[in-house]
Chain A
Amino acid sequence: MANSDAIVGWKTITFGCHILEPGNAANFRTGDWRSQRPVVDKEKCIKCGMCWVFCPDMAYSQDEDGYFVVDLEYCKGCGICAHECPKDAITMVPEEG
């Protein structure tokens, strides 16, 4: 978990080693962990939201049309969404490279 953000000095380290900025883990893009990513077939999608409910990384959000869209900055490619989709609308596709 080497993290260049942690390079602080004893004079500048936070008091008591507390972290004062809530939710700043969002600065860490877990998206580059994945070897496959979900692709949604909008024809099949019924906007039930199960993909959003079952994502351990909170990577889904709903767009204006009601479709659930994955944030590739954070998606780890676990495949739960594809596995749980009641309409098999999601396919896991290998990442290139």
Chain B
Amino acid sequence: MELIQSISLSSSASTILFSSIPNTYSQLYLYASLRNDSTTSSSPALRVALSSTANYDLGYRETGSSSVNEGNYSSKVNWQDMYGGVISEQKPSNSFGAFYMSIHNYAQSVPTTMVAQGTSNASESNPNAGVYGGIIRNTDVQSSINMIVDYGNFKAGCLVALYGA
């Protein structure tokens, strides 16, 4: 595995984008430490889009202190919402959520598969975690990764690194 590129935010940004990803790897690995600048939601959603995800199936399981959500996204739109991975301004202070995404077959003529997981902390006693797995049922080459958060912006200090293998 080798580092392709990384982004370290020195000031806030609404969108983080890796473009022109080389198609010379078999797999991509995205590691991110994320925080947003909004106090609106204690559990911000991270929206991730590959360049071509128009037909995907995504299953998920999300856990919190008092509930578990699980199921499948059926909307099959380009953006995938993932919880656990972004810490909000509510708490804890100055910490960043942990997010990881593995993308396989992104440059081959077979469906792209992916798995992602993230953890954030709605409060000291209420950690959130999400696990996601998906298949993109077209065979397009994925050449970009676009990230936004559902409330506010990514805060300065966020770090996102893209590796290839």
**Is chain B a partner of chain A in the same complex?**
no
